[in-house]
């Protein structure tokens, strides 16, 4: 697990070194999706629907003749209710490091996607004191994006594929995100 964290930090640092010649900026968005917590026994599954959330962070974008690579560092907060013995509130604070690869299609339209490393910073729930949630996971993001000068409008589908560590497995099997990004500095999209 340490290797994945160090790899993400190293990758992000490499892209920071080229920031003077490439696009960098901020992004903010929101989304809605489902949540699933799996215990050791298959019958012990906790589900939540309509889990709302926000995301905000920084990105760098390296353009490569019709393609681009955009590493991101995002803070995510998810709030909602899960069906435990009764309806229980849940709040998840995490960081995510997606590495997005995009393809410019027509005009401002691009399609993009890529892997995302997730780390839960804090989780607040009323599921019982003995519940330990796995803190790390790997997922993906994929979707369309529109670039207009310095503004980026995005929509993406997000999923978590692998939960790493020990404890109950937390996943968001389907989530839709929408947001806006703003390029800062001299260069724009």
Structural domain count, the chain: 1
- DSSP β-bridge partners for residue 92: 78, 123
Instruction: Write out pLDDT tens, residues 12-70.
Output: 665 555 444 488 999 999 999 988 877 766 667 778 888 999 999 999 999 888 899 99
Does any domain span residue 161?
Answer: yes
Q: What is the pLDDT of residue 47?
A: 81
> Nearest CA to 102 among 159, 73, 59?
59
CATH number for the domain including 39? 2.40.160.20
The whole domain housing 115 covers 2-184
Whether the predicted pLDDT of 93 surpasses 90: yes
Q: For strands 151-164 and 169-171, give the pairing.
A: unpaired
* Per-residue pLDDT tens digits for 130-164: 667 788 999 999 999 999 999 999 999 998 878 88
Residue 75 lies in a domain: yes
pLDDT at residue number 121: 93
Checking if the pLDDT of 6 tops 70, the result is no
pLDDT, the chain, mean: 85
- Per-residue pLDDT tens over the stretch 164-178: 877 777 777 789 999
Predicted local distance difference test score (pLDDT) of residue 21: 45
Tell me whether residue 189 is in a domain.
Answer: no
Instruction: Round to whole Å and give the CA distance between 14 and 165.
Output: 27
The answer to the question of residue 172 being in a domain is: yes
Q: What is the pLDDT of residue 19?
A: 45
Which pTM was predicted? 0.81
Burial of 183 (0-12, 13-18, 19+ CB in 10 A): buried
């Amino acid at each position: 697990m340490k290797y994945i964290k160090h790899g993400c930090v190293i990758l992000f640092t490499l892209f920071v070194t080229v920031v003077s010649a490439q696009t960098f900026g901020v992004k903010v968005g929101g989304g809605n999706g489902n949540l699933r917590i799996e215990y050791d026994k298959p019958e012990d599954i906790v589900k939540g629907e309509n889990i709302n959330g926000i995301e905000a962070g920084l990105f760098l974008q390296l353009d490569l003749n019709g393609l681009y690579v955009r590493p991101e560092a995002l803070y995510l907060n998810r709030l909602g209710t899960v069906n435990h013995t009764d309806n229980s509130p849940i709040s998840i604070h995490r960081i995510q490091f997606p590495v997005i690869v995009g393809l410019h299609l027509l005009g401002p339209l691009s399609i993009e996607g890529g892997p995302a490393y997730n780390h839960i910073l804090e989780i607040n729930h009323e599921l019982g004191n003995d519940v330990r949630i796995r803190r790390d996971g790997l997922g993906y993001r994929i979707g369309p994006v529109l670039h207009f000068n310095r503004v980026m409008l995005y929509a993406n589908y997000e999923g978590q594929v692998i939960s790493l560590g020990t404890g109950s497995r937390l996943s968001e099997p389907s989530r839709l995100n929408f947001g806006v990004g703003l390029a800062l500095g001299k260069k724009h999209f």
